[in-house]
Each structure stands twice: as C-alpha cells, then as structure tokens.
Chains A and B, each alone.
Chain A
Amino acid sequence: MAENNKKSRRKFLNNGLKLGIVAAIGGIGLSKIASKLSAQTEEAHSGEKMELMTADGTLIEVDSSEVMEVHNVKNNEDNYDVREGIPNRKFVMVIDLAKCKNARKCVEGCQKGHNLDYHQEFMQIKLIQDNPLAEPYWFPKNCMHCDEPPCVKVCPTGATFKREDNIVLVDNERCIGCKFCVTSCPYSARIFNWEHKAKFDDKSQPYSPETNVPGATGTVTKCDFCPDLLRQGLLPHCAQSCPEGVIYFGDRNEDIVTNGAETVRFSELINKRGGYRHLEHLGTKPNVYYLPAVDKLYELEDGFEVNEEVKERYKNVPYVKELKKQGKI
C-alpha cells in the first residue's frame, strides 16, 4: 500500500515535471520557441535537439520530436470562460520604482490600448513620499488585482469578479453603477463613466470584460491586466510601452517575470531587491509588487519636464509646494 502510494507520488511528480516543461513552452516571452515547435510537430523524428528550461531553471536538451504540442489556452478558445480565466496561471506584476522617471508612456499606451480619454487613467503615476526625510519618487499605480479584493466582496451583482489567474475584471454589461466598489477600493483603482461618449457606440469590436472596450455609460471600469494580450503571449500595454523597462509582468506559477528586454525569476527579484506590496497592512494581498525606489536612475525633477500638463498636474499638490519651498526641487 505504502509502495503504491510512493509510486503514484513519483508518477505525480513526473507528470508535474512534464507539465512544468509544457508550461515553460507556453511561457510569456517564449512564444517564438512555441511557434517554432508547432511548425515542427508534423515532422517525425527530425533528430533535431532543442534546449528547454525546466521549472527549476536548469536547461535540458531533448529531441524536438519528443516534445508534444499541447492544446493550451491559445488553441482552446471554444470553452474558454472569461470568469474562470487562463488555466494554470497566477499573473503578477513587478514595478521597479528605481527606474521610473515619469515618462508617462505606460499611461499613454494603456489609454490607447483601452480606447480611453486623456484624463481616464487605468495606470496612474503619483508622486509620493514614504516619510518626511525621504526623497519623493514616481509611483506608477494600476489595479492591484488583489487576492482579497474588497471591490469583489461588495459588488451586489457579481459584475466584478476574481479569476483563477489572479485577474480581477469588471463586466460592464452586468454593472449597475452603484459605485460601492469604487468606495471600497483603497488603491483608487476604479474609474466611472460619468457620461455617454460617442466611442461607446462603436461596436466594431465585440465587448469583452477582458478589454473593457467598448465602454458603457454609468458603469465602472479599471485596469484589466490585458488578458487579451496575455492570451496571445504578449505583455500588457503598460509593460510594452515603458521605455525604461520599469514594468515586469509574468506568472507566479512559472516564477518568471519579464519586462520585454530581460526575463528574471520573480522570487529572486522580490527577495534580492526588497520587493513589497503597497498598503500591505490592509490585508488585500495585492498581486502587484514594487521594488523600492533606491539608487534611482533618474533625477526626480526629470519627471516634471515631460510636458506642460504634467507641470500643471503637480502644481497644487501640497507637498510638491512644500518641497519647492524647501528648495528640494
């Protein structure tokens, strides 16, 4: 009996390893390998070896004919459930505050991708300060896609929901616009469509909670982690458009995050660089991590010189005024 158990355990582990390999194939940033693979599956015993990375980071060499193509989410859209999410994924984001210079490209990229107006920001960049002696820093903030989302708890109709892949979405066809979620979010992540706009009538793109396009009057909307792009193996709009590689995105199951230029181990990044989550003490368990703004690559002042609007934006912020008074800016 015990041996039997042991055997099934070994079998399970074995399967787990295979699953890990397969997961690595489907990994974000590795889509090129995947496409190469799918081209090769038709040929039998090509004899060509290929290098793969296992879940624990070691490189192994296998014959490409031994690697099977697995029907993952990309090829499995028929029974894909928007409310369930992408299977076997736990998406996380890491924002490296040391590299942010308030270029605002993430904001613009997001607005373009989600067809938002100038002032509607899923991704916002705040100027914040940890304590009176510390230098202020630029703080890009989107939806934290919490594991204990206060917004989901209070929604009376289930219009906003938490998926298996960590993503919190809003279904604007279900939303009744009570705004309880807006008041219960401690991160001010949610915005409301206060009036009707012509772009809401553009039905050329079918509505999906995954894109938030087209919007709807009188409903709540927010950052969605761009699941439509994730399913194509692409990074979210913000991470794609950041020129400094501030925003890393990835999967906690794979323990990998990437900003498009470099791919790193999520756990290592968090451990070595002192990663933290904003307002941890509230117990919302966010899935957006921050790397502290130490050894910053850019001067704080650079962030003010983006354009007139940015100058205007921070003109009346009390401690920006105070900083100016102290001669720090």
Chain B
Amino acid sequence: MDIQSRKRELFKEFAPRLETTSLATKIYIGFLVAIILVGIYAFYLQMAKGQIVTGMRDNVVWGIYEVNFILLVCISYSGAFISGILHFFHTPWKTAIARIVEIITVLSLLIGPIYILLCMGRLDRLHYLFMYPRIQSPITWDIIAIITDIVACFIYLYLTFIPDFAILRDHCEERKIPKWVKKLYKTLAIGYQDTKTQRDRLHKITRIMSTIVIVLAIVAYTVLAWIFSLTLQPGWNSTIFAPYFIVGGLFSGVAFIIVTMFLVRKFYKLEKYIRKMHFKVGGIILLILAMLYGYFTFTEYFSRWFSHKEIDTNLLDALFTRYFWVFIFANYVGILVPIGILFFKKFRTINWVTIASVIALVGIWLNRYLIVIPTLETPYVPIQDTRIDYIFYSASWVEIALSFAGVAAFLLMFTLIGKVVPLVPMNYILDSHFTTKKVKQKVNKEISE
C-alpha cells in the first residue's frame, strides 16, 4: 500500500538519529549538564543561606528571576497560541515546524514557573497555596491559569505525538534501538492503528484542544500581566498591560521559534523540511508583531511621559539616566532594527531573519527587565538608605547561574526529546499528502461536474 511504504520511508529517514549518538552530541550534552550542575549548586546555596545570596533586597524584591519567568512563560503561551492557530486553520506549511513549536511550548512552560518558585522565600510552604487559598489574589489566578495551561498543553502535545509513536512502534523492531525505548513507543502509542475512525477521532480531538489551548494562552497572558497592572506601582499600573503582554509575548515567542528553527535545521539536517519559505513567513509575522509591539511600547511610555505624574516622571528619569543604554537597546534597537531588517524583501533570508529574531529576543528580555526593576527602584516613598545594594539592584552570580541553567535545561530536554522522537512530525507529512490529494480530487470533481 502507498501509505505503508511512505511510512517506512519516513521512518528510515528519521531513524539514524534515534539510534546513534555522535561524540559531538555527547560533549554538548555533557556541557549542558555541567551548566545545570552549577545552577543546582547555586540553588543549594540559595536554599541554605536564604535569598541574601541573590541581588534582591527590600525595595527590589523581584529580580531577574521574575524577568526570566515572564519571558519563558510568554514564549510558552505564544507557542501554544501559534501551534493552536497552525492546527485550527490547517495551515499547509505547519508540517515542518508544528512539533518544534509544541516542544517549545511544553518545555518553556516547565522551566518558566521554576523561576517564580525561586522568587519565593519559603519553598517548603508551597502547599499553603492550596491549603489556604485566597481567590482574591492575582497570584492564585496565575497559579490556576498556569496549571490549567500545563495540563492542556501536555494533552495537546501528546495528541499530536500519538500517530508518530504508532509509526515508530510499527517500524522499530528491525532497528537496533534500545529495548526500553521500543517499549516506550508501544505504551505511548496506546494501540493507535491509524484506522479511519481513529484518525478522524484524533483529528477532531486535536482540533478541539487547539482552540482550548488558544483561549487558555490568552487567559494566562492576561493574568500574568495583571500581577503587575493591578498594583499601584508606577510603570505597572497600566490598563494596556494585558494586550501589551499578549503582543510582546507573541513577538518573543515567534522570535524564539525562528531561532530554534534555525538551530534545528542546521544541527538535525532538516533542510529538506524546514525551508526558506518558513523563515520568510516567520519573518513577515515577526515584522507585523514587531510593529504592533513597538506601537504598544510607544503608547505606554508616551502617555506616561506626556501626562508626567510625579511618580511616573521619577521612573522615566531613572529609565533615561541610569538605564539609558538598556532602554535604547530594549525599546529602540530591539524593535526598530528587526523592523528595519524584515521590512525589505531581500533581507528576508534565513540568516537575516534569524539575526532579527536574536536581536528581538535580547530586546524583549531587556524590556521585561525595565518593566520589573526600575519601577521597584522608584517607589512612592523615596529610598533613603546607606546600603547601595538596597538602593540599586544588580543580579548576583547565583541568579545569573540559575538563569543560564534554565537555558541549558531547555536545550538538554530539547536534545533528549529529539533523541526519542523525530522533530518533524511524520504524521503531518502524511496528512499533507492526503490533503493535497483530496483537494485535487475535489477540484477535479467540481470541474468535471
């Protein structure tokens, strides 16, 4: 049968990566593990000595942990959002990148909340959130939103994986893949035989889940923004924060997906599937989001500057003196340069789009930094302290080590997932064959009628 041989072909194509691990990969994994170990040591120090080992003090009580949290969680939400859209609208070019997006979604949603836990003074009392919940608190809303989102994203990711597990299960026998992996495939495929009823049912469920995931992402973004905008603080208490976070989150998410696409394409030799077209389309989406995000950023700061309440003026003074270059990079370079690159057709190449995405990512991290930290440094009641670390925040090595450990953990888990399943979903490739055939048939039928 046509489809069976195609399955075999695909398996053959993706199998070698699942079978062997090159020396370079081993060194790379070792390197990542080393970074994570340093992070674990930093975590141990923080647990043993308290948060005094961080740069956080009485005024700036949230530091780069909070910034990382926002960035990662926003990337995850936008991953869910984009993957939901890809599914829901049967986007033809989703084939190559859908799985990458889904893995990004789940991994960043696993790592992101760890940073908010690092912000907590008493991790041993985490269960109090459930023992003595107060529904009035935006933190409770955020916890509900994140947990719901994690569950939904896992279900969604798993649904998209099932047909691939079935293919892997059916074809792995003749290969020298470790026994436990074979067993894993068998268990995870939950008896999926790719019959017509099964396929239709799975498509239906995945479609429903994709809409749920989109809605959940919007809710979760909003609640995250509310953590800030529901307070009275200058620079936080803003009515546009929820949509601003959605747009900024999508912007960072798309940039992150493009960078990952670039790396996956390069190191997994998937040039055949991830093509220039993907970067082109990604670039155009990034361009639109960059313009929207730039517009929101401008509106946000412009209205604060124009109305110049004293407390806002203090904040803007800090932003334009101490944080001048950070502000320039975050909100000028980080937005205008990607726009400048992506605006011109001839720059919408794989390399240039990736460069624009990297700049956008750094820019948005700094933008989040400027949202969290300068606000806490310019409270209503002026800080008059002799201790410099209580006046200005600077991240300690513990915080920096744990930030890099998060990146390393992300890369490590991504690599390990890439060892077990193909990063390009085989079932989508098959699906796209079907749909093109079906459409052709349908068109032919209509013409002949």
With CB as the reference atom, state the residue of chain B lying closest to A311. Answer: B386
* Interface residues of A, dominant DSSP: loop
Of A126, A154, A219, the contact of B384 (CB 8 Å cutoff)? A126
* Total of A-B residue pairs, C-beta within 8 Å: 135
Q: Within the complex, what minimum Cβ distance (angstroms) separates A164 from chain B?
A: 18
B382, CB-defined interface residue at 8 Å: yes
Contacts of A153 in B (CB 8 A): 136-137
Once the chains are docked, how many angstroms separate the CA of A275 from the CA of B449?
88
- Chain B 127-152: CB-based contact to A (< 8 A → 1; otherwise 0): 01101111011111001000000000
A128, CB-defined interface residue at 8 Å: yes
Once the chains are docked, how many angstroms separate the CA of A176 from the CA of B383?
25
B120, CB-defined interface residue at 8 Å: yes
Once the chains are docked, how many angstroms separate the CA of A279 from the CA of B311?
11
Q: Within the complex, what minimum Cβ distance (angstroms) separates B75 from chain A?
A: 22
Chain B contact-residue range equals 35 or more
Once the chains are docked, how many angstroms separate the CA of A17 from the CA of B225?
52
Residues 106-140 (chain B) with a chain A CB within 8 angstroms: 119-122, 125-126, 128-129, 131-134, 136-140
Residue contact A126 to B381, C-beta cutoff 8 Å: yes
A300, CB-defined interface residue at 8 Å: no
Chain A contact-residue range equals 35 or more
- Chain A 74-94: CB-based contact to B (< 8 A → 1; otherwise 0): 000000000000000000000
Contacts of A274 in B (CB 8 A): none
Of B51, B119, B132, the contact of A194 (CB 8 Å cutoff)? B51
Residue contact B381 to A174, C-beta cutoff 8 Å: no
Contacts of B58 in A (CB 8 A): 182, 188, 190-192
- Chain B 227-240: CB-based contact to A (< 8 A → 1; otherwise 0): 10011110000000
Q: Within the complex, what minimum Cβ distance (angstroms) separates B276 from chain A?
A: 46
Q: Within the complex, what minimum Cβ distance (angstroms) separates A313 from chain B?
A: 5
Contacts of B387 in A (CB 8 A): 119
Residue contact B379 to A188, C-beta cutoff 8 Å: yes
Among listed A24-32, A155-163, A235-243, A248-256, interface-contacting one? A155-163
Residue contact B50 to A156, C-beta cutoff 8 Å: no
Once the chains are docked, how many angstroms separate the CA of A270 from the CA of B438?
82
Please list the residues of chain B having a beta carbon within 8 angstroms of any beta carbon in chain A.
49-52, 56-59, 61-62, 119-122, 125-126, 128-129, 131-134, 136-140, 143, 227, 230-233, 376, 379-387
Please list the residues of chain A having a beta carbon within 8 angstroms of any beta carbon in chain B.
119, 124, 126-128, 141, 150, 153-159, 174-180, 182-184, 186-188, 190-196, 217-220, 279, 282, 284, 309, 312-314, 317
**Could you list 24 examples of A-B contacts with CB < 8 Å?**
A124-B381, A126-B382, A154-B136, A154-B139, A157-B132, A174-B128, A176-B125, A176-B129, A177-B122, A178-B119, A179-B119, A180-B137, A183-B61, A183-B376, A184-B230, A187-B380, A188-B381, A195-B49, A196-B50, A218-B51, A219-B121, A284-B232, A313-B386, A317-B384
- Besides A150-B232, A153-B136, A195-B50, 19 more A-B contacts (Cβ < 8 Å) are A119-B385, A119-B387, A124-B381, A174-B128, A174-B132, A176-B121, A176-B125, A176-B128, A179-B119, A180-B139, A180-B227, A186-B233, A187-B381, A188-B381, A194-B51, A218-B50, A218-B121, A282-B232, A314-B384
